[in-house]
């Protein structure tokens, strides 16, 4: 008795939504970053689910690409965040609004 694919998809959608809302409502850059990771992994979950449902290995391959890109993104992102923490005492996203029009 296996769990139906729709449950996984529902879980992934919920995780994605939590991540998206987190990015939108939270001010802390680190938390926002984690929310992005949450969204990425929600997408990964859908890929894996569809790969299994459609019996297509392509979905799982894409997940590896996403993981690699996410790892690289974490490196760059954390580098930026560390640079910001060096100059400021705390990292609130709204403080960093120098590109205001």
Partner 1 sequence: MLDAAWLIPALPLAGFVLLLLVGRKLGDPGAGWLGTLMVAASFAVTLGVFSTLLSRHDDARTVTHTLFTWVPVGTFQVKAGLLIDPLAVAMALFVTGVSSLIHLYSIGYMRGDERYPTFFVYLNLFVFSMLVLVLADSFLLTFLGWEGVGACSYFLISFWFERPTAATAAKKAFVTNRVGDFGFMVAMFVLFGSVGSLQYLTVFAHVGALGHATATAVVLLLLLGAAGKSAQLPLYVWLPDAMEGPTPVSALIHAATMVTAGVYLMVRVNPILAHAGGATTVIAVVGAITAIFAATIACAQDDIKRVLAYSTISQLGYMFLAVGSGAYVAAVFHMITHAFFKALLFLGAGSVIHGLHDTQDMQKMGALRRFLPVTSATFIVGWLAIAGVPPFAGFWSKDDILINAWDKSPVLWLLGLIGALLTAYYMSRQIFLVFFGRDRWKSEGEGEHAVTPHESPWTMTVPLVVLAALSVVGGGLNLPLSDKTEFLHRWLHPVFGSRVHELAATSGTKWALFFVTLAAVAAGIAIAGRLFLGRQARPDALEPAVLRNGWYVDDLYSAVIETPGRMLSAWAAYVLDLKVVDGAVNGVGSLVRASGSRLRAVQSGYVRNYALAVVVGAVVLLGYGISRVAQ
41 near 78, Cβ under 8 Å?
Answer: no
Instruction: State the nearest-atom distance from the C-beta of 43 to partner 1, in Å.
Output: 12
Stretch that binds partner 1, among 5-13, 57-65, 80-88, 92-100 (CB under 8 A): 92-100
Stretch that binds partner 1, among 7-15, 45-53, 79-87, 90-98 (CB under 8 A): 90-98
Answer for which of 55, 76, 87, 97 binds partner 1 (CB under 8 A) is: 97
Q: How far is CA 65 from CA 25, 27, 62, 69, in A?
A: 28, 29, 5, 6
76 binds partner 1 (CB under 8 A): no
Q: How far is CA 68 from CA 24, 38, 96, in A?
A: 25, 15, 28
71 binds partner 1 (CB under 8 A): no
Stretch that binds partner 1, among 17-25, 42-50, 51-59, 63-71 (CB under 8 A): 17-25
Which pair of tokens denotes residue 21? 């809302």
CB within 8 A of 13, min separation 6: which ones? 42
55 or 94: whose CB is closer to partner 1? 94
């Amino acid at each position: 008795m296996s769990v139906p694919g729709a449950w996984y998809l529902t879980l992934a959608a919920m995780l994605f939504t939590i991540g998206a809302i987190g990015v939108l409502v939270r001010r802390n850059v680190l938390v926002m970053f984690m929310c992005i990771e949450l969204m990425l992994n929600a997408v990964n979950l859908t890929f894996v689910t569809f790969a299994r449902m459609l019996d297509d290995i392509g979905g799982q391959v894409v997940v590896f690409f996403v993981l690699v890109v996410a790892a690289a993104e974490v490196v760059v992102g954390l580098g930026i965040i560390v640079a910001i923490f060096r100059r400021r005492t705390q990292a609130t996203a709204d403080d960093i609004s120098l590109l205001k029009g």
